[in-house]
Amino acid sequence: MERFFELLIAAVLLAGLYSTMAYGLGLIYGVLRIVNLNHGGMIMAGAYAGWYLHHALGIDPYVSLLLVTAVAFGVGIVIYRGLVHRLPRGAAGGVQSLLLLFGVWLIVRNVAYLLFTGNDQTLRTSYSTKAIAVGGALLSVNRIAVFGVAVAILAILHLVLTRTYVGKAIRAVAQNPDSCTLVGIPVERIYALTFGLGTGLAAAAGLLGSTLFPFNPSFGAAELLKSFVVVVLGGLGSVAGTAIAALILALVEVFAILVIPAYLTAAVGFVLLVLVLVVRPGGLFGQRVLG
């Protein structure tokens, strides 16, 4: 029973990390119908930003979280205005956007190689190895904090999307951009805002990840894949679905160790993805219009 409890807690905390990684990707696809391949690049950039602010200025990563997210939000808007905006809207720009954003990712990664070399970096704080006891199990303070941030992002996103004018506009644009233009919603501004928000969330995820693992400029590739799995499982465009899918994926991966060798657990998520696509192609929670 103790072992079951420990695995359950491990899965819940892991879900926190997975969901933070996936929110930004899901949000951008849900509204712009663009697969942001630069999501991995921004995860890596967020990790370096958090590390640099801590390393050079001594700023705690959880303090710099808002700053990094805000700067990445601005970067996202610049990428949208400067590049993505020029592509055909919606599905018509699909392939071009893939190539474009993949190119941006490569540039971001190579800039990181030039600036920081390929060496692994780690972000160490005074609480990096601290733990608190919960029901007999010791839980990492860092992992609990990451989980807390994941829940906070979920709550804030939900509130913004359902209770604010901007949020309602984002949902409306996700549903039917042409009609939105007719009723005076500034669709391009909403697109830019959403792209910025998704980029900011990716950087936030990277910063949180940097408190847990070593990273280098190739960081973000595996995280992008994991984000894909979570977003597709949850149903594209569903924020709550993303969080629940992250929990399901984490539960499956963690408990799989009871029945299969540990090295195969990483593949379990992809098996689950294939099964969901065959049985329920719209994702476990279907297609939603955000919220």
Partner 1 sequence: MRTTPFVSVLCAVTFAACKPSNQQQAPGQGSAPAASAPSASEILIGATLPLTGAESRIGGFFKEGYELAFEQATQNGGVSVGGKKLPVRLMLLDDTSAQATAASLADRLINSDKVNFLLGTYATNLVEAQSVVAEQNAIPYVNGGGAATAIYKRGYKWVFGLLAPVELLAESMMKWIDAEQQAGRIPKPATIALLWENTSHGKDFRKGVTDFANKGGNYKVAVDESFELNGKDFSALLGQVKAARADLFLADAHLPDYITMQRQFVTAGLCNKVISYGARGSEKQAAEALGKKNVEYVISAVWWSPLLADKNPLAKKFVDAFKAKYAGRLPEWYQALGFETARALFTAIEQAGSLDKKAVREKLVAMKVPSLLPGGALTFPAEFGQQSHAPFVVQQNLPDGSAPLIAPPDAATAKGIAPNPNCK
Q: What is the CA radius of gyration of the chain?
A: 19
Residue 121 DSSP code: B
DSSP H helical segments within 239-290, as ranges?
Answer: 239-255, 265-279
3-class DSSP state for residue 289?
coil
Question: Cα(90)–Cα(88) distance, rounded to whole angstroms?
Answer: 7
Is residue 95 exposed (0-12), middle (13-18) or buried (19+ Cβ within 10 Å)? exposed
- CB nearer to partner 1: give 77 or 210: 210
CB of 194 to partner 1, least distance (A): 16
CB contact at 8 A, 29 and 98: no
Q: Minimal distance in Å, beta carbon 174 to partner 1? A: 11
Nearer to partner 1, 182 or 262 (CB): 262
In the complex with partner 1, the residue whose CB is nearer, 156 or 277, is 277
- Nearest approach in angstroms of CB 70 to partner 1 is 26
Instruction: Give the footprint of partner 1 on this chain (CB under 8 A).
Output: 3, 6-7, 10, 13-14, 17, 29, 33, 35, 37, 40, 91, 94, 98, 102, 109-110, 113-114, 117-120, 122, 124, 128-131, 138, 140, 142, 209, 212-214, 216-218, 221-222, 224-225, 228, 231-232, 236-237, 253-255, 257, 261-263, 265-266, 277, 281-283, 287
Shortest approach of partner 1 to residue 259 CB, angstroms?
12
Closer to partner 1 at the Cβ: 199 or 210? 210
Complex with partner 1: residue 128 or 176, whichever CB lies closer:
128
Least distance between partner 1 and beta carbon 287 (Å): 6
- Residue 158's CB: how many other CB atoms inside 10 A? 16
Query: Which of 135, 184 has the CB closer to partner 1?
Result: 135
Q: What angle is formed at CA 228 by the lines to CA 227 and CA 232, rounded to 5 degrees?
A: 120
Q: Tokens for 164? A: 């604010």
Question: In the structure encoding, which two tokens stand for residue 155, read together?
Answer: 């709550």
- Tokens coding 208: 């949180």
Instruction: Name residue, tokens 């719209």.
Output: 282
153 versus 224: smaller Cβ distance to partner 1 = 224
CB of 122 to partner 1, least distance (A): 4
Question: Dihedral, CA atoms, 45, 49, 50, 54, nearest 10 degrees?
Answer: 150
Q: Which is nearest to 44 in space by CA: 152, 159, 99, 121?
A: 121
Please state the closest distance from residue 165 (CB atom) to partner 1, in A: 26
